[in-house]
A and B are shown apart, each in its own frame.
Chain A
Amino acid sequence: MNSKIKMPLIPGEYAGLQPGEARCPGPSVQDIIVSDALPAPEVLRSTNYEFIGDSDIPYQRYTSPAFFQQELDSLWPKVWQWACRLEHIPQVGDYYVYELGSYSFLIVNTPKGIKAYYNSCLHRGTKLRSEEGMGCAQELRCPYHGWTWTLEGEISRVPCAWDFPHVNPEQYRLPQVRVETWGGFVFINMDESAKPLQDYLEVMPEHFRNWDLEQRFIELHMAKVLPCNWKTALEAFLESYHVLETHPQLLQGTGDANVQYDLYGDHVTRFYAVGGVSSPHLEQQLSEQELVNSMLVGDRTVINDELTVQPGETARIVMARYLRKILGDKYQVDLGQVSDAEMIDTIEYHLFPNMVLFPGVSLPMVYRFRPLGTDVERCLFEILFLRPLAEGQERPDAPEVAMVAEEESYDVVPGMDPYLAHVYDQDTANLRAQQQGFKASKKQGETLGNYQEARIRHFHRTLDRYLAGAGRGEG
């Protein structure tokens, strides 16, 4: 334990504070970033937390086939969910097959804009396209009997049309789902009466107004099968409380227990973890120079020697200045106005239900968590790295997804930093044991930390609103 900061190990009455009021002893994120050279933007200098309860979250939500079916019936058909990015469908004719559970959609770049169709032939149901991911076509033709639709979804060919007098072409347009875009992401919603995406995103467009994710390109896209419910996997990334025990190598350089957690509306939460500081858990706090040396867990290919902390500087200032230059050169963009915080800190947003975004510059990931088919206890975890696209630079082709098998390490993915891969391996190594532990437990549910694990509780609260049929369209 850190001899300077007193941290009790057994919970008990905590100095007369209300539930949810207690915080990690030691400096807060806001205390730390105040001494940065290029100050953090307004959006990072605000906090937004409220205590929303402390009762346990039942395990059956992660293990029950009935609960999983409820999600398929009442959650997934009612939410805006991102299917692909614009760069997956840049030309007319390009399409992306997006699937979740038994649902399958064709997101198509048509001469009349982006449309999304249920991926099922209106003759006898065959999927028009059976492989997930990118493709291209000038028309949508079923490989079984050749029924064909234009890209805009109008029926153009029924072989032996004489046999189908009962087929009225007007009623045989390909059924569509709602499509809207934000930040370079293409979102769909199966609910025809859903409120617009902009409303669903709540505070995110405002928070992201200086983080233009459309002006990014996918440098890497990988997917790994995980042996747990999609929510089990998601929740591993909604809190930093586990850094102490799961990623102890990160304590030298990350403020873990003093991470800031913010809750907004129904659909958006955030954590903000500062880098370039010692964990409050560490007995021996690192010097500024030691902190700089320990911070190189991200892109190790960009190392050189400009990493000496001058008098009056902090590790944060040095690291930010260094990365501005290195990443600016690598991606041919001017990062001169980007704050220290945006350069080096871990800023992570969750958009309900299954999207995680990191708008910072040096750790620029996007995550997605989807159930695998209709398996309650397996899911697909995707990681994308979005890098800055220089003005006027030709956009590279969006990469194919690099698949990682359940037993493989993330480091099999070309271009994945091995230290980062190790962090992900550490995260997912816990998940099988947790998922199985749900069923082995006598206790009925999870106990959550009031502050550090509040985003998990907030997520379940919103999930319940959707399952009750009340989560959308109102007010």
Chain B
Amino acid sequence: MSQFHHVLDCADLPAGKSLAVDIAGLSVLVCNVNNEYFAVENRCTHQGAELEGGRIRNGMIACPLHGVLFDVRTGCGKGPLGRVPLRTFAVQVADGRIKVSQESAAVPA
């Protein structure tokens, strides 16, 4: 049974923004895509840069270092530099509180 951590309130995270939170020692990036919330590992799989603050458009975050794009809803990256997908984490929202699972979602085969 996955443990969910209350990491943020909805009021903390406006649409189009992302915030990094620490969950059991791992930096996880919570993203607001048109007021739906998603969570991915806060670490670009290309060269390990932090994704926090990267521009989010159409559900895709641009890594601030070399611009590699990842879909925060699925973790999938674009192009050869985005070959390895981001780990994603389940999100639950209730009463204006955002909770993120400690375990990453299974990566589809």
Contacts and interface: CB of A to CB of B under 8 A. Distances in A.
B65 interface: yes
Interface string A115-155: 00000000000000111001111100101000000000000
A400 interface: yes
Interface string B37-72: 000000000110000001101101010111101000
A167 to B, nearest CB: 21
Contact of A130 (B57, B58, B81): B81
Given A141-B65, A141-B66, A143-B46, A136 B54 contact: yes
Interface string A390-405: 0000000111100000
Contacts of A91: 55
A94 B55 contact: yes
Interface string A314-347: 0000000000000000000000000000000000
B6 interface: no
B80 interface: yes
Contacts of B58: 134, 397, 399-400
Nearest to B46: A143
B69 A135 contact: yes
A183 interface: no
A101 interface: no
A298 interface: no
B57 to A, nearest CB: 5
Contacts of B62: 135-137
B65 A131 contact: no
Contacts of B66: 141, 143
A138 B65 CA distance: 9
A445 interface: no
B66 to A, nearest CB: 4
Contacts of A131: 69, 78-79
Contacts of B80: 130
A150 to B, nearest CB: 15
A138 B63 CA distance: 10
Contacts of B65: 141
Contacts of A398: 57
Interface residues of A, number: 17
Instruction: State the majority secondary structure of interface residues on B.
Output: loop
A386 B7 CA distance: 40
A129 B58 CA distance: 19
A143 B66 CA distance: 6
Nearest to B53: A138
Interface string B2-42: 00000000000000000000000000000000000000000
Nearest to A90: B57
A6 B60 CA distance: 59
A400 B73 CA distance: 15
A104 to B, nearest CB: 13
Contact of A134 (B46, B47, B57, B64): B57
A136 B57 contact: yes
A398 B57 CA distance: 8
A143 B46 CA distance: 10
A398 B65 CA distance: 23
B55 A93 contact: yes
Contact of A135 (B46, B47, B67): B67
Nearest to B58: A400
B51 to A, nearest CB: 12
Contacts of B47: 143
| Most A-side CB within 10 Å, residue of B54, B62, B66, B78 | B66
A135 B66 CA distance: 10
| Most A-side CB within 10 Å, residue of B46, B62, B79 | B62
A219 to B, nearest CB: 14
Contacts of A94: 55
29 contacts: A93-B55, A94-B55, A129-B67, A130-B79, A130-B80, A130-B81, A131-B69, A131-B78, A131-B79, A134-B57, A134-B58, A135-B62, A135-B67, A135-B69, A136-B55, A136-B57, A136-B67, A137-B62, A137-B64, A137-B67, A138-B64, A141-B65, A141-B66, A143-B46, A143-B66, A143-B81, A397-B58, A398-B57, A400-B58
Interface of B: 46-47, 54-55, 57-58, 60, 62, 64-67, 69, 78-81
Given A93-B55, A143-B81, A398-B57, 20 more contacts: A91-B55, A94-B55, A130-B80, A130-B81, A134-B57, A134-B58, A135-B62, A136-B57, A136-B67, A137-B62, A137-B64, A137-B67, A138-B64, A141-B65, A141-B66, A143-B46, A143-B66, A397-B57, A397-B58, A400-B58
